[in-house]
Structure 1
Amino acid sequence: MERRELAVAMFRVAHLVGEFQLRSGRTATEYFDKYRFESQPELLSAIAEHASVLVPEGTEVVAGLELGGVPVATALSLATGLPAAFVRKKTKPYGTQRLAEGAEVAGRRVLVVEDVVTSGGQIVSSTADLRRAGAIVDQALCVVDREEGGAENLAADGVRLTSLFKADELREADG
């Protein structure tokens, strides 16, 4: 699937109009419902294919953030051959009591993977947790950057955000 074709398909499947409360606490009149594009095998596969070329050299683990980053990281792992880790919002209080499940992150260069970024708050929080667990984190990759301060907030925390699409690109692709 060509990049523009992917943008159009994602927009048509996932763009919603209404009133939506965002994680950042702000209210938005449009929303990209990540689960609508993440649950479509053809779209998720194409996302991983296009995102795989954006994975920084030297990445050892792709780490998907709970919940939306997990399917993207899994698909990206399949597309790149890199191991995946799945990062919880909070360490589970039972079993292995781990923050990051799957691939070991301690001492490894980890690419944080998220679906949609608005303020970048969850990446900032999860990056701090991963760093405390010994991961080397200075890069994040998202499918859609809403361009509402996330990249700047992450940069202030020493994390460079790369996005497959900016929100405006998706809007414009559907024309």
Structure 2
Amino acid sequence: MSAADLKAILLSKSVRTGTFTLASGKTSDLYIDCRVTTLDPVGANLVGELGWAAVREKIQTEGRSIQAIGGMTMGADPISLAVGMTSARNHPTEALQVFTVRKEPKGHGQGKQIEGNFQAGDTVIVVDDVITTGGSTLKAIDAIEREGGKVAFALVLVDREEGGRQAIEARGIPVVSLFSRSTLL
């Protein structure tokens, strides 16, 4: 299984052309719904393998210790879980715990905004499926930092190349993307 296999699934299932209004409110000729790919068993396995390879290379190159991976629900959830599961299967001593960031703190129970395997002091990878302006990734970063986490870098399935990478990197957080608009199309 390879990047070409994942690209084929993304192009077949997730990429649409036409006229679309994005979450940012901008109009675009391209819509990418990565959930259709990341919730596909073959797509999820590919995301896990390719995502873990990219993450592990970045971690080893920088000599970082990373405890967990997660991002804004729902787009980041299957990516984070796939990468975490692959890390546990291939390198159990380096296995990444997985968490999810709610859009708003929960209105009951412990009132958490971050659920799962995250604790203050963790150094984490923030995940997003698609970045356009970087807004949802930055919102997840804000929540993680507010809860005492440190974001080492961002892992993104597709960078639409519309300023999101620059907005995230302006916060001092490098972005690793598996695909960009230009490499996908």
**Which structure has the higher relative contact order (CA within 8 Å, separation 6+)?**
1
Which residue in 1 is equivalent to 2:20?
Answer: 20
Distance (Å, rounded) in 1 between the aligned partners of 2:180 and 2:66:
23
- Give the RMSD, CA atoms, in angstroms: 1.2
Within the candidate set 82, 85, 90, 1:78 is matched to 85
CA distance in 1, matches of 2:100, 2:147: 13
State the shift of 1:5 in Å: 2.3
Contact in 1 for aligned 2:71/2:137 (Cα 8 Å): no
Task: Quote the Cα distance in structure 1 between the aligned partners of 2:5 and 2:78.
Answer: 21
Does 1:137 pair with 2:151? Answer: yes
Looking at structure 2, the residues matched to 80 and 167 of structure 1 have their Cα atoms a distance apart, in angstroms, of 27
State the alpha-carbon separation in 1 of the partners of residues 149 and 11 from structure 2: 34
Corresponding residue for residue 87 of structure 1 = 101
CA distance in 2 between partners of 1:149 and 1:163 (Å): 13
CA distance in 2, matches of 1:23, 1:106: 30
Aligned length: 171
2:161 equivalent in structure 1: 147
Q: Which runs of 4+ in 1 moved over 2 A?
A: none
Identical aligned pairs, as a percentage? 31
The worse-fitting range, judged by mean Cα deviation, of 133-142 and 56-65 is 56-65
State the TM-score, normalizing by the size of structure 1: 0.93
The separation in 2 between residues aligned to 1:104 and 1:79, in whole angstroms, is: 18
Q: State the match for 2:45 in structure 1.
A: 45
**Length-normalised TM-score, structure 2:** 0.88
- Opposite residue 36 of structure 2, the aligned amino acid is R
Paired AA for residue 115 in structure 1: D
Cα distance change on mapping 1:76 and 1:45 into 2, 3 Å: same
State the secondary structure of the residue aligned to 1:49: helix
Shift of 1:137: 1.0
